[in-house]
């Protein structure tokens, strides 16, 4: 699924995830993902994937399935398809906690190119 998703802020990159969400790739996925952004545009957003639907809300959940602690500029570059999520993780540019296997599926659930 190709997209022209080109957010201009890190918050728009999180809030716009339902626009690029591939519900067909989400069969059997139930997850609560915390985006914990730091840097120029700090904030926390929760992405809930359940029953083939993706919802985004501000704030922190009680128990996320996966937490991504990431600089807002790096997240924006990843969301725009300018940086590779797996490459940045391998270089230690952001941290993950929880269901790390879910990280590998993010590019499939949210294709940006």
Query: Running DSSP on this structure, what letter comes out for residue 91?
Result: T
Residue 3: pLDDT band with limits 50, 70, 90: low
What pLDDT does 61 receive?
A: 81
Residue 106 vs residues 36, 39, 40: alpha-carbon distances, Å: 16, 22, 23
Fold of 10-108: Nonspecific Lipid-transfer Protein; Chain A (3.30.1050)
Kindly report the average pLDDT of the chain as a whole number: 91
CB atoms within 10 A of CB 82: 12
What pLDDT does 86 receive?
A: 87
Mean pLDDT score, 88-106: 92
What pLDDT does 88 receive?
A: 94
Domain boundaries, the chain: 10-108
Sequence-distant (6+) residues with CB within 8 A of 76 are: 7, 9, 10, 13, 41
Mean pLDDT score, 40-58: 96
Q: Give the tens place of pLDDT for each residue, 66-93.
A: 999 999 999 999 988 899 888 999 999 9
What pLDDT does 4 receive?
A: 65
């Amino acid at each position: 699924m190709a997209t022209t998703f080109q957010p201009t802020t890190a918050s728009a990159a999180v809030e716009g995830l339902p626009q690029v969400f591939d519900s067909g790739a989400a069969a059997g996925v139930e997850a609560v993902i915390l985006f914990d952004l730091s840097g120029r545009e700090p904030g926390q957003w929760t992405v809930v994937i359940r029953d083939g639907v993706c919802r985004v809300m501000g704030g922190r959940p009680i128990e996320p399935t996966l937490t991504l602690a990431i600089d807002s500029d790096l997240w924006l570059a990843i969301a725009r398809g300018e940086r590779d999520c797996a490459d940045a993780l391998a270089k230690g540019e952001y941290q993950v906690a929880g269901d790390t296997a879910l990280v590998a599926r993010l590019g499939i659930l949210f294709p940006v190119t």
